[in-house]
Structure 1
Amino acid sequence: MRRVSSRLVQAGLSALLVMLVAAHVAGAIDIAPLQRAEAWLYDAWLKRTAPGGSDDRVAILDIDEASLKAVGRWPWSRDTMSALMNQLFDRYGVAAVGFDVVFAEPDTSSGLDALRRLARRDLAGNREFQAAFGRLAPRLDFDARFAQSLAGRPVSLGYYFLPQGYGTERTGTLPAPALPADAFAPLRPGLPAPTGYGANLAAFQRAAEGAGFFNMRADPDGTARRMPLLSPFGAGYYLALAPSTLRVAFGGDAVRAGVERESLLGRAFRTPWIEVGGIRVPLSGDGSVYVPYRAGAPFPYVSAAQVLAGKVAPAQLENRIVLVGSTAPGLADLRVTPFSNAFPGVEIHAHLIAGMLDGTTRSTPPWARDARLLAVLVLGTLLTLVLLRVGPIVGLLATVALLALLLAAYAAAWSKSWVVPMAAPMLAVFGLYGLNTAYGFFAATRSKRQITRLFGQYVPPELADEMSRDPGHYTMEGQSRDMTVLFSDIRGFTNFSEKLPPTELAEVLNAYLSTMTRIVQEQRGTIDKYIGDAIMAFWNAPVDLADHATRAVATALAMQAALPQLNREFAARGWPELKIGIGVNTGRMSVGNMGSEFRMSYTVMGDAVNLGSRLEGITKQYGVGILVTQPTVDADPVHAFMKVDVVRVKGKETPVAIYEPLGPMATLAEAVREDAAAFAAAFAAYQKQDWDAAEAALRALNRRAPRALYDIYLERIAHFRTQPPPAGWDGVFVYTTK
């Protein structure tokens, strides 16, 4: 009853954790650490996948400290800005210009207003003054000259919106909305509508081909990962600076928008999109995209003063989209990004433009929340059930597997230009493992002590640990089960042992038995006993293993594969080389606590066990390292086998087909397959007493790769040619010794 109650408490705590994370994902509650984890995962993946190199499509015209020293403090006169525009388009042939600054106030630096007042008042009757003023006024109207420099050119001005809570002031003139209010019908992106704006003078806005807002959007940690590409205001939607600049660069065609409809698991989802300059960009539900930052310094920064002076190489600007911004202290709009804590805001627009051109902007699909919620609930429930049934090691493997699955899903979504936050499901999985491991450690201590008292002296400690999780499932009483047994022995051990002093012989055996035991235990086998240099092991008791035959064969192959390295170590110490024979058999066996009142042992017995021992003994007769029986072959779908013979071992009347395991079928070399098929044909001819065909096939095999097995059959054929087998011979070879 206590155990049941403990499991219920463990399950209840796990369910509570899953529901808390699910509530966060669903938006019912906000768990700040999960938000930070999502941001960390995004930043880490972005840095891992961000491309490098330079970009020859976008440049940044920098109003830097050197420019302020050469031209004067900002804002510069519109006369200077006119000259800058003329230089950019006429001298350097730029593709388009986008301003990360706003021109909200008239320029009075020319003194034109003072001259106008004189013309209207004090010098109203002075003909010479009026004539001179008429000639000078157009030249001194710097705003008009700047507007003229904008007209007919692919220029996008910049402006800003005032978010809710930042006032309702409205200055300057907004451009016409890029999209109508029903652009995304029947879906309206959940965009927060601003309450005011600061825009450019009407003359500039009329002259320019476009304008876009340059508001940044920071995540709760202050990092600029996303940018809105449009914002609702009044009767329509307005473009951000990056898409607006891209639009004018591609000829100023109208922006298109719509909703992409898709169905997933019976649910309908809608993804908003905009199309600028023929480039379609999917949006997140709030109208934003993730900025596709590139590593390094992909965009050249060109000093504005150098452009005004004509000292910049044309290749640095020609045919490029130019963004005008500042890095000068006091003017710089510095932002926190995943790559830097002081990142020029103007460059964020550059990365966004480059990403739109490359099609590498990312958005959060509308089904992301459902997918995350499903992942938390399904994987959380699945892992809870697993952790309630298995120990911390298997639980850790399951946890790692689920984390890898979630990470793979994150990467797959990323490759599709989707950002599907997976940190919350990952932390749910990791948290469940930590919770259950901590709880299980204390709850299992008592059970482990109990099971250790029962089985600790008979089975390996690692199996006792696993059994301690469910003590009621295991018993020391005898029972009959389908099992697989393995016997291994060092060939010629008697001669081997005579060559070494006792202390070195003990070292050899310890090294050999440790290596082989480790392999057995890796395949969850039970070491029954050591008989001198021999090892006896079995599978499917006391722990249930449906694939016990496969595990035993894999163990035998691994034991043989471990010998070369072991022999190299032995040779370095002057010890003789080891060769072993291994027999594996599957069948019905009796297993349990057997022995006397003085000594008990958890072991297996039965005819199937004896047959496994016989197989190990006859491996040397065929020159092979491993022999298994037909029942083992039938129970192992993973490995490939070659039939070696059909024999009657001593004490058994029923013939037994014996096989040599070749290795996993999935990775078996083609040459091995061909040799096995050729030997099968030779063996079939041998059993039909077609000595010529069998001999020819065996000699061909020997020429390719000589083996003692082929020589044995060639000797038998030579014998049968002089002393034919009796009539009715069934092709079975009889062994009269053990």
Structure 2
Amino acid sequence: MGTLARHWPRIAITLAPLVFALLHAIGALPVGFLTRLDAVLYDARLRAAMPRTLDPRVVIVDIDEKSLAEVGRWPWARNKLAVMIDELFDRQQASIVGFDVVFAEPDDSSGLRRLRELAEGELKETAGFQQRLAQLQSSLDYDAAFAHALEKRPVVLGYYLTSDRDGRKSGVLPKPVLQRENLQGRPISFYSFDGYGSNIPQLAQAAPVAGYFNSITDTDGVVRSIPLVAEHGGAYYESLALAMFRVMAGQPTVEPGFPRDRFVSRSYGGLESIVLKLGERRLAIPVDDKVATLVPFRGPGGPAGKSFRYVSASDLLAKRLAPGELKDKIVLVGTTAPGLLDLRVTPVAETYPGVEMHANLISGLMEGRLYVKPDYAVGYEVVVLLVAGLALAFLLPLLSATVAVLVSVGVVALLLALNYWLFASYGLVMPLAGGLVMAGLAFALNMSYGYFVESRSKRELANLFGTYVPPELVDEMVKDPDSYSMKAASKELTVMFCDMRGFTKMSEKMEPTQLQELLNAVFSRLTDIIRANRGTIDKYMGDCVMAFWGAPVDTPNHAELAVKSAMEMSRAVHEINAEHRAKGIPEIGVGVGINTGTMCVGDMGSDIRRSYTVIGDAVNLGSRLEGLSKVYGVDIVVSESARQQAREFAWQELDRVRVKGKEQAVGIFYPVAVARELEKSTSDELKTWAAFLKAYRAQDWDQCDLQLLNLHRLGAKKYLYDLYSERVASMRLLPFDPGWDGATNFETK
């Protein structure tokens, strides 16, 4: 929580895109760009998911330019359409025919109406004319011929609904599929129209089933959806595709599919689906909040798109198709001729035949492959925005630039994957633009704030500490620059002094450049170990290196890391000596002193030269301990205070000493190994040594000799044991001293 509190300005800035995205999602602050981008993203998903395969069940009879050239301009005489209907059902054996055209006016192309006017006017008294007209009337009534061809056949006529003709109406509407009372008083948001253009009564009576062929043009001029059911005059009518599908399914009834969640209010203005019911069978067709469905395009459209077979109407009229070639096919009669104005801009093509849109919808209804933006899409978008937005807002300020990029890319990838999975698996079209833009802006604002505001203080911190502190710790410090400064402070730290043994002897035998190269190589190895264990290099002093742990970055296990570094440095020196022996170079040794205590740490020095360093009695003791390593014949000497905090090691106590300038004696120790890796023989040796020290401090010299003998029997041969053997021999010559505390005094530094 403290870390988040320090980053609250950055979090607040990152939350800003989330707030705007949420306002757009709930409709409080619509953003046109996001709406358009959502449409573009939907189009991309649709094109990616299109099967691009032929549906052989649906055939389009095309009133194309070839047909207009052979048969004549549209509209054609309806006796020709009667011939077409007979050809489709009798010779081709089609299963159902739908018309994506409307027959809104009587066909006067035969001249029958003018002949009737003459018969009732100036030729009224001409008996021969009246008799001849009676003989020709049936053959010249093209509407009657067409109506006769339609009767008792599975034909669905088309018509259109309109709201841009001042409510004008023409023709006869089919029976509605729903009445207002079917909606149980719920305010469903159907597309509503106040006018229509339908078929003449004679044809509407012969083919009573009809469906409107309206589509919905979005604000960007692209047609993506078709309302399955629309409202006019308080009644509800079906689309051409739905009407044809119902005829194929045996004319099931249409019922509204209300949301089944008991928590949804009756005042909610949306349907979950349109339900087709035939006996015990039910089929729920998902719809959006306007009772529309998105067109499930199969391919790019037109004869070349190869989603559906196109048959030229002129070939059908001329009987160029073999008998039964269209057997059991679903036939849609429409046009691709540009002059007949039935081409649409769609997500998959800029000139797409309107008739093929209905073919796609019929195909989708039969396959159950429909796309819909559900009524709960707003709720989905709000939840996704909150989860992604809050995750980015609270994570990005805490991450490095590289990780922040990866997290942001990951969030965007998850949004894309979830959205496409819902689309491809369940046909759900969920909003995506808000989430993507929100994630992108959140990342951009976060990184911008981090670079222009936070990075300024981080750069200042890096400039201050970069000279003294390892880059690894500087990287850690810049994550929270406000917590660090160069001001002096008293802290418990661990200090290390490491002196190179044998350096003076080597300097007498080696050229200066060789000595420099050797010294640099050794210091590089030792420095890498210190840095790897989070140590701060204080300074190099000739053949000695000084380092400390616990500042400027707090490190709770500073003593443990210092001891670990010392042991690794000792092993590194053994490896270096192996290399030296192979090259004939003199071997070296090291002496390491480690102490933990309260020290003053900070930027100290003069106006000319300053350094980030530690000072204090605890530092001086560390330096003294390094010098004692030669006395006790070990590489590492660690104080009691450091040993107490480095509990993962097994220790051998060396002595209790009183160094120059200190009145109080301190225990000194040697780290034998990591405790869990200690061998039994070594453990036995340490126990024997502990018994020796107890006898030594009790001035029981006989017991001391016995324990030293036990150590030799264990095969333990150390300079330390020889040292104490000499001490015991000397102490025997002195009388018992009741005031002796067992400590060794050192008067030199």
> Which of the numbers 346, 369, 372 marks the counterpart of 1:363?
372
Tell me the equivalent position of 2:217: 218
**Distance in structure 1 (CA, Å) of the matches to 2:549 and 2:381:** 41
**Distance in structure 1 (CA, Å) of the matches to 2:154 and 2:555:** 73
Q: 1:302 to 1:391 in 2, by over 3 A?
A: same
**Distance in structure 2 (CA, Å) of the matches to 1:403 and 1:166:** 46
Contact kept, 8 Å, 1:97 with 1:156, in 2: the verdict is: yes
**Distance in structure 1 (CA, Å) of the matches to 2:216 and 2:196:** 16
Contact kept, 8 Å, 1:390 with 1:466, in 2: the verdict is: no
Of all paired residues, the percent bearing the same amino acid is 36
Aligned: 1:428 with 2:438: yes
Aligned: 1:343 with 2:352: yes
Tell me the equivalent position of 2:37: 37
Q: 1:142 to 1:443 in 2, by over 3 A?
A: same
CA shift, 1:407, in A, is 1.9
Q: 1:271 to 1:243 in 2, by over 3 A?
A: same
CA shift, 1:83, in A, is 0.6
Aligned: 1:328 with 2:327: no
CA shift, 1:440, in A, is 2.4
Aligned: 1:383 with 2:382: no
> Which of the numbers 456, 459, 464 marks the counterpart of 2:466?
456
> Which of the numbers 405, 410, 416 marks the counterpart of 1:407?
416
TM-score (normalizing by structure 1): 0.65
Q: 1:118 to 1:186 in 2, by over 3 A?
A: closer
SS state of the match for residue 43, structure 1? helix
CA shift, 1:590, in A, is 12
Aligned: 1:304 with 2:313: yes
Q: 1:460 to 1:342 in 2, by over 3 A?
A: farther
**Distance in structure 2 (CA, Å) of the matches to 1:445 and 1:655:** 41
Q: 1:266 to 1:109 in 2, by over 3 A?
A: closer
TM-score (normalizing by structure 2): 0.64
Instruction: Write the deviation string for residues 685-732 of structure 1: whole angstroms up to 9, x where unpaired.
Output: xxxxxxxxxxxxxxxxxxxxxxxxxxxxxxxxxxxxxxxxxxxxxxxx
Contact kept, 8 Å, 2:37 with 2:433, in 1: the verdict is: yes
Tell me the equivalent position of 1:170: 169
CA shift, 1:31, in A, is 1.1
**Distance in structure 2 (CA, Å) of the matches to 1:147 and 1:539:** 100
State the AA in 2 paired with 1:437: M
Tell me the equivalent position of 2:361: 352
Contact kept, 8 Å, 2:79 with 2:146, in 1: the verdict is: yes
**Distance in structure 2 (CA, Å) of the matches to 1:539 and 1:61:** 86
Contact kept, 8 Å, 2:104 with 2:199, in 1: the verdict is: yes
Q: 1:42 to 1:656 in 2, by over 3 A?
A: same
Tell me the equivalent position of 1:52: 52
Instruction: Write the deviation string for residues 635-675 of structure 1: whole angstroms up to 9, x where unpaired.
Output: xxxxxxxxxxxxxxx9557874459xxxxxxxxxxxxxxxx
**Distance in structure 2 (CA, Å) of the matches to 1:271 and 1:412:** 24
Contact kept, 8 Å, 1:387 with 1:395, in 2: the verdict is: yes
Tell me the equivalent position of 2:87: 87
CA shift, 1:26, in A, is 1.1
**Distance in structure 2 (CA, Å) of the matches to 1:396 and 1:41:** 23
SS state of the match for residue 251, structure 1? coil
> Which of the numbers 288, 293, 296 marks the counterpart of 2:292?
288
**Distance in structure 2 (CA, Å) of the matches to 1:454 and 1:17:** 35
**Distance in structure 2 (CA, Å) of the matches to 1:526 and 1:194:** 76
Tell me the equivalent position of 1:584: none
Aligned counterparts, 1:581-730, within 5 A: 656-657=675-676
Q: 1:480 to 1:250 in 2, by over 3 A?
A: farther
Instruction: Write the deviation string for residues 161-189 of structure 1: whole angstroms up to 9, x where unpaired.
Output: 113x5421111111111111233435433
Contiguous gaps of at least 5 residues in structure 2: 495-513, 541-547, 557-595, 620-645, 650-668, 679-714, 720-749
Instruction: Write the deviation string for residues 331-350 of structure 1: whole angstroms up to 9, x where unpaired.
Output: 14111111111111111111
Contact kept, 8 Å, 1:261 with 1:268, in 2: the verdict is: no
Instruction: Write the deviation string for residues 287-325 of structure 1: whole angstroms up to 9, x where unpaired.
Output: 111111123521111100001111124575321211111
CA shift, 1:13, in A, is 4.2
State the AA in 2 paired with 1:272: E
Q: 1:25 to 1:595 in 2, by over 3 A?
A: closer
Contact kept, 8 Å, 2:97 with 2:330, in 1: the verdict is: yes
Contact kept, 8 Å, 1:232 with 1:238, in 2: the verdict is: yes
State the AA in 2 paired with 1:349: H
Contact kept, 8 Å, 2:186 with 2:267, in 1: the verdict is: no
Aligned counterparts, 1:513-532, within 5 A: none
Count of residues paired in the alignment? 550
Tell me the equivalent position of 1:470: 480
Tell me the equivalent position of 1:393: 402
**Distance in structure 2 (CA, Å) of the matches to 1:592 and 1:40:** 64
Contact kept, 8 Å, 2:336 with 2:353, in 1: the verdict is: yes
Aligned: 1:96 with 2:107: no
CA shift, 1:219, in A, is 1.6
CA shift, 1:125, in A, is 5.0
Instruction: Write the deviation string for residues 348-374 of structure 1: whole angstroms up to 9, x where unpaired.
Output: 111111111111112222221122123
Q: 1:404 to 1:459 in 2, by over 3 A?
A: farther
Tell me the equivalent position of 1:183: 182
Aligned: 1:228 with 2:238: no
CA shift, 1:267, in A, is 13
State the AA in 2 paired with 1:434: A
CA shift, 1:386, in A, is 2.6
State the AA in 2 paired with 1:287: V
Q: 1:589 to 1:82 in 2, by over 3 A?
A: farther
Contact kept, 8 Å, 1:333 with 1:344, in 2: the verdict is: yes
Tell me the equivalent position of 1:564: none
Tell me the equivalent position of 1:581: none
CA shift, 1:412, in A, is 3.3
**Distance in structure 1 (CA, Å) of the matches to 2:83 and 2:287:** 38
**Distance in structure 1 (CA, Å) of the matches to 2:218 and 2:555:** 51
Q: 1:87 to 1:481 in 2, by over 3 A?
A: farther
Contact kept, 8 Å, 1:159 with 1:214, in 2: the verdict is: yes
Instruction: Write the deviation string for residues 524-571 of structure 1: whole angstroms up to 9, x where unpaired.
Output: 996989x9xxxxxx999988999xxxxxxxxxxxxxxxxxxxxxxxxx
**Distance in structure 2 (CA, Å) of the matches to 1:453 and 1:469:** 14
Higher alpha-carbon deviation: 16-25 or 412-421: 16-25
**Distance in structure 2 (CA, Å) of the matches to 1:736 and 1:152:** 116
- Structure exhibiting the larger radius of gyration computed from Cα positions: 2
Tell me the equivalent position of 1:721: none
Contact kept, 8 Å, 2:57 with 2:330, in 1: the verdict is: yes
SS state of the match for residue 157, structure 2? strand
Instruction: Write the deviation string for residues 12-33 of structure 1: whole angstroms up to 9, x where unpaired.
Output: 5444433222221111222111
Q: 1:356 to 1:133 in 2, by over 3 A?
A: same
State the AA in 2 paired with 1:337: T
Q: 1:389 to 1:59 in 2, by over 3 A?
A: same
**Distance in structure 1 (CA, Å) of the matches to 2:298 and 2:79:** 36
Contact kept, 8 Å, 2:151 with 2:206, in 1: the verdict is: yes
SS state of the match for residue 116, structure 1? helix
Tell me the equivalent position of 1:25: 25
Q: 1:526 to 1:72 in 2, by over 3 A?
A: farther
**Distance in structure 2 (CA, Å) of the matches to 1:103 and 1:266:** 43
Alignment root-mean-square deviation, CA = 4.8
Q: 1:374 to 1:441 in 2, by over 3 A?
A: same
Tell me the equivalent position of 1:200: 199
**Distance in structure 2 (CA, Å) of the matches to 1:81 and 1:47:** 36
**Distance in structure 2 (CA, Å) of the matches to 1:388 and 1:658:** 42
SS state of the match for residue 281, structure 1? strand
Higher alpha-carbon deviation: 103-112 or 257-266: 257-266
CA shift, 1:455, in A, is 3.5
SS state of the match for residue 244, structure 1? helix
Q: 1:68 to 1:472 in 2, by over 3 A?
A: same
Q: 1:64 to 1:600 in 2, by over 3 A?
A: same
Contact kept, 8 Å, 2:14 with 2:392, in 1: the verdict is: no
Instruction: Write the deviation string for residues 602-631 of structure 1: whole angstroms up to 9, x where unpaired.
Output: 9xx9xxxxxxxxxxxxxxxxxxxxxxx998
Aligned: 1:437 with 2:447: yes
